[in-house]
Structure 1
Amino acid sequence: MKKRDKILYWIATAWLALGMLSTGIVQLIRQKEETVMMEHLGYPVYLLTLLGIWKILGVIAILIPKYPLLKEWAYAGFFFAMSGAIFSHLASEDGGKGLFGPSLLLVLTVASWYFRPADRKMILAHQ
């Protein structure tokens, strides 16, 4: 792995982990702004607890060494959650303000996944 790729991986992964952890905690404690947003988007507020737990567990999964299959699931979960958030804000016609956070986290998810080191990737057997 090139030094540049390693640096890009850790920058994207650190920002991704920070973003997912902070939003996960905010969702888990059901901060007022989060409950208002969920109601605005048409989702039940109890979904915040589930999203918060999944985000925190996903951060742990991408940061710990080994367990490449678990990492793939975490990256997939982040991808689905953020693309779903983007779609929800578009459907609610929220404009740029509602799109920035999930779009940034989606880009960081893809960048972290793309630049991850070989020891954090799944090895697929060829048949």
Structure 2
Amino acid sequence: METPNTSEKRKKIIYWIFTLWMALGMISTAIVQLIKNKDELANFTNLGYPSYLMTIIGIWKILGVIAILIPKQLLLKEWAYAGFFFVMSGAVISHLIVGDTAGRTFPAVLLFVLVIISWYFRPANRKISLNNN
């Protein structure tokens, strides 16, 4: 039987594994977007988006990762998670709308799932609650 302490420890380990994986994914895709990698540029234009959006999203991803990884700043963390949720769900939907293959859609799905798991398992000290006024 699991004790509450063991359960919290397991949740914290899950949180950090998925959060660091998400952070790595967001940073690496941000870099690819900021340097305007030709494959990523083709991907963006195939989805119907202008190339300048890559710079905006790349910068937001880096700032979002910083917000999620730094201590405190709970409201900023929630905004970062919300931003990641909208960007990655939008990416998944965009790939589906243009009829991309599963292989081209999977990276967006993976990052979207990582965002949700990281958000869900975040420890109490990384959540906004009524007691954190």
TM-score, normalization: structure 1?
Answer: 0.95
Q: CA deviation at 1:95?
A: 2.1
- Aligned counterpart for 1:123 among listed residues 109, 122, 129: 129
Higher alpha-carbon Rg? 2
In structure 2, runs of 5+ residues without a counterpart are: none
Tell me the number of residue pairs that the alignment of Structure 1 and Structure 2 aligns: 125
2:38 is aligned to: 32
Would you identify which runs of 4 or more consecutive aligned residues in structure 1 move more than 4 Å?
none
1:50 and 1:21 mapped to 2: Cα distance?
13
* Aligned 1:65-84 pairs, distance under 5 A: 65-84=71-90
Q: CA deviation at 1:64?
A: 0.3
- Aligned counterpart for 2:22 among listed residues 16, 27, 32: 16
Read off the aligned partner of 1:50 and give its amino acid letter.
I
The question of 1:96 aligning with 2:102 is answered: yes
2:113 is aligned to: 107
TM-score, normalization: structure 2?
Answer: 0.91
2:10 and 2:105 mapped to 1: Cα distance?
29
In structure 1, runs of 5+ residues without a counterpart are: none
Q: CA deviation at 1:48?
A: 0.2
Q: Could you report, residue by residue, the CA deviation over 1:28-64 in whole angstroms, capped at 9, with x for unpaired residues?
A: 1111111111111111000000000000000000000
RMSD: 1.0
Q: CA deviation at 1:99?
A: 1.5
